[in-house]
């Protein structure tokens, strides 16, 4: 009986059609075992867009004696940067004091490049903002090296690269898998929308409302994250994860053709991953 059962399972696995995706690159693994479930140009280096911010959050959350309630004053430099680069924004207001925890929501839900800048400025070291940002990006690269990733390099804190900001579907999945070990990270990336209380310049308060750009949340059963990305060079990217019946699959698609295509790609790959 046992042998028959094993043969049946093997036959099912053999007839499971490998999905076709619009994305140029893709990778999926079983997050519990690390077993590879799907690859498509999984080790080809590509621009990553805002999926870069997974590493931004990971570096922040790895800081020693991190105080998530510490306040960061929003500088004009952050809003100027958004305007200059026509970048995605958490609409942070100059002079507001925003907690590190709230900045992580602003980073990961609306994909705020202003929030990314604020965090890099806060957690880099140096006497000038430029030095602090450079130091923070250095920490991002060290974190990638510590994970043993050979095909990842960051030259930005948010994915607006200067020509050498790249990763691969396999590497990005490994970064996300590592980040998901942190409970704060997990809580943030599975949040569909949030209202965060911030202190205004005058000492009052306001609420910032942010919605998650990851539409898998609430539309795909078991979805628990992770992060969208896009850009002229990156195309449409998505790092995704879902849990069903105690099994978590996690993966990445890079350079898909549209917002709807990257979502469709991710759903196909997760469906496939759960059946394997």
88 near 111, Cβ under 8 Å? yes
Quote the strand ranges of the chain, DSSP E: 25-30, 36-40, 46-47, 71-73, 97-99, 166-167, 193-199, 205-211, 223-231, 235-244, 247-256
Q: Which two tokens stand for residue 40?
A: 């498509």
In order of 111, 185, 274, the CA distances from 247 in angstroms are: 28, 19, 8
Cis peptide bond prior to 144, omega within 30° of 0: no
Q: Report which DSSP code applies to 93.
A: -
3-state secondary structure (DSSP) of residue 58: helix
Establish whether 50 is a catalytic residue.
yes
Catalytic position from the list 53, 58, 139, 174: 53
Catalytic position from the list 47, 89, 99, 111: 111
On the CB side of 235, CA atoms within 13 Å amount to: 16
Phi (first) and psi of residue 253, to 5 degrees: -120, 135
On the CB side of 162, CA atoms within 13 Å amount to: 6
Establish whether 53 is a catalytic residue.
yes
The dihedral formed by the CA atoms of 118, 218, 177 and 22, expressed in degrees to the nearest 10: -100
Which residue do the tokens 């498509």 mark?
A: 40
Q: Which two tokens stand for residue 73?
A: 């004053």
Catalytic position from the list 40, 47, 50, 143: 50
Q: Which residues are catalytic?
A: 50, 53, 111
């Amino acid at each position: 009986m046992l042998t028959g059962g094993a043969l049946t399972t093997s036959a099912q696995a053999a007839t499971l059609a490998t999905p076709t995706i619009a994305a140029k690159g893709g990778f999926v693994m079983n997050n519990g075992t690390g077993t590879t479930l799907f690859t498509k140009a999984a080790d080809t280096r590509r621009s990553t867009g805002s999926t870069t911010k997974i590493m931004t959050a990971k570096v922040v959350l790895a800081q020693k004696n991190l105080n998530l309630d510490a306040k960061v004053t929003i500088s004009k430099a952050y809003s100027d940067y958004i305007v200059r680069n026509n970048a995605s924004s958490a609409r942070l207001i100059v002079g507001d004091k925003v907690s590190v925890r709230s900045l992580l929501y602003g980073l990961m839900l609306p994909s705020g490049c202003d929030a990314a800048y604020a965090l890099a400025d806060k957690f880099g070291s140096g006497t000038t903002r430029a030095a602090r940002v450079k130091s923070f990006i250095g920490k991002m690269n060290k974190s990638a090296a510590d994970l043993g990733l050979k095909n990842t390099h960051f030259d930005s804190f948010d994915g607006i690269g200067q020509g050498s900001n790249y990763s691969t579907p396999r590497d990005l999945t490994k970064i996300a898998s590592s980040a998901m070990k942190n409970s704060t990270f997990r809580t943030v990336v599975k949040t569909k929308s949030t209202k965060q209380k911030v202190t205004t310049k005058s000492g009052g308060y306001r609420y910032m409302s942010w919605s998650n750009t990851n539409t898998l949340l609430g539309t795909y059963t078991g979805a628990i994250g992770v992060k969208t990305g896009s850009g002229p060079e990156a195309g449409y990217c998505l790092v995704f994860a879902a849990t069903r019946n105690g099994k978590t699959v996690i993966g990445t698609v890079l350079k898909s053709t549209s917002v709807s295509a990257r979502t469709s790609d991710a759903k196909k790959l997760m469906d496939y991953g759960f059946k394997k």
